[in-house]
Amino acid sequence: MARLVSQLIDTLIVLFGVSTLVFLLLVMIPGDPVDVVLGESAQAADREAMRAALGLDRPLAERWLHFYADLAHGDLGDSLVRLQPVTELIRQRLPATLQLAAAAFGLVLLIALPLGIIAARHRGRWPDSLAQSFALVGVSIPNFWLGPLLVLLFSVYLGWTPVSGNLEPGSLVLPAVTLGLSMAAITTRMMRSSLLEIESQPFLRTARCKGLGESAVMLRHSLPNALLPVITVLGLQLGGLLAGAVITEVVFSWPGIGSLLVDAIRQRDYPVVQGVVLFIALSYVLVNRLSDMLAAWLDPRIRERA
């Protein structure tokens, strides 16, 4: 119970720091939100009235306290461009992002875990070399380059998938591959390294001496112990899917919170930028806390050290 309370306090401190940093960065960004609403040619009196309505005429400390008061009530403000509550805009765009993140994460599990196991079991042979080559290529290719390349190959030349959007069948395939490939490469390397590290443990030699076959040793002993660091990496990657989806959503015109964030930055819609960044930060922190709790539940040694 004490550990849970400590983790909750740590999470609140992190969220407090992130939200304060986002608030200060948006305050320091060049440009005036009043220009977004009224335009640069507006009269001085109208500009001052709008600044008062938006609370921009208040001292910085008062604006900061007002920001947290609204945040405590779940109020992220209203969009300056769309004239809708930011929470409503996030709610509308979130299902598309979650769909993309789930597909990419499923692709990571489908590729990385089997490939890492195969590489570890065939260390030094061609399956291992093939898996490591895939991992190297996957880590080296950035999303903003891979996405257009896949579009040119599978959408323009072959015509197998839609170019962009999420309205046609198969439109999820290329964005999911683009988002999940680098994460699958990292997880493959981690799975291989973790299994090879476990391989030297005495309990595996004991299991083999008792007559267990390699498949039974892998499934019953090696894999459960090797999954602990992999779970931590998967937690980090799952939290990073929302942040990584920003580039992918822009490339494929995917109507999620990533494209909402980029549009808001272009339009200087500061409340939307602030709300989306806070939501991504909150999701990242919570997912990582959940992965830590899962690792502690799977391994009693972690609970004892905590």
Residue 268 and residue 193 share a domain: yes
Mean residue pLDDT across the chain:
77
Backbone angles phi, psi at 85, to 5 degrees: -60, 140
Residue 68 and residue 134 share a domain: no
Residue 160 and residue 33 share a domain: no
The residues near 138 (Cβ < 8 Å, ≥ 6 apart) are 181, 182, 184, 185, 186, 188
pLDDT at 305: 52
Residue 121 and residue 226 in contact, taking contact as beta carbons nearer than 8 Å:
no
Residue 251 and residue 139 share a domain: yes
| Domains of the chain: total | 2
Residue 87 and residue 275 in contact, taking contact as beta carbons nearer than 8 Å:
yes
Residue 209 and residue 246 share a domain: yes
Residue 144 and residue 247 share a domain: yes
Residue 123 and residue 15 share a domain: no
- pTM listed for this prediction: 0.77
Residue 20 and residue 96 share a domain: no
pLDDT at 117: 82
Residue 169 and residue 29 share a domain: no
pLDDT at 46: 66
Residue 290 and residue 173 share a domain: yes
Phi/psi zone of residue 42: left (φ > 0), alpha (ψ -120 to 50 degrees), beta? beta
Supply the range of the domain harboring residue 64.
2-72
Examine residue 299 and state whether it is found in any structural domain, yes or no. yes
Examine residue 51 and state whether it is found in any structural domain, yes or no. yes
Residue 106 and residue 42 share a domain: no
Residue 113 and residue 22 share a domain: no
- Here the CATH number for the domain that contains residue 142 is 1.10.3720.10
pLDDT at 303: 52
Examine residue 153 and state whether it is found in any structural domain, yes or no. yes
pLDDT at 141: 79
Examine residue 45 and state whether it is found in any structural domain, yes or no. yes
Examine residue 85 and state whether it is found in any structural domain, yes or no. no
Examine residue 195 and state whether it is found in any structural domain, yes or no. yes
* Residue ranges in the chain modelled with pLDDT below 50: none
Examine residue 81 and state whether it is found in any structural domain, yes or no. no
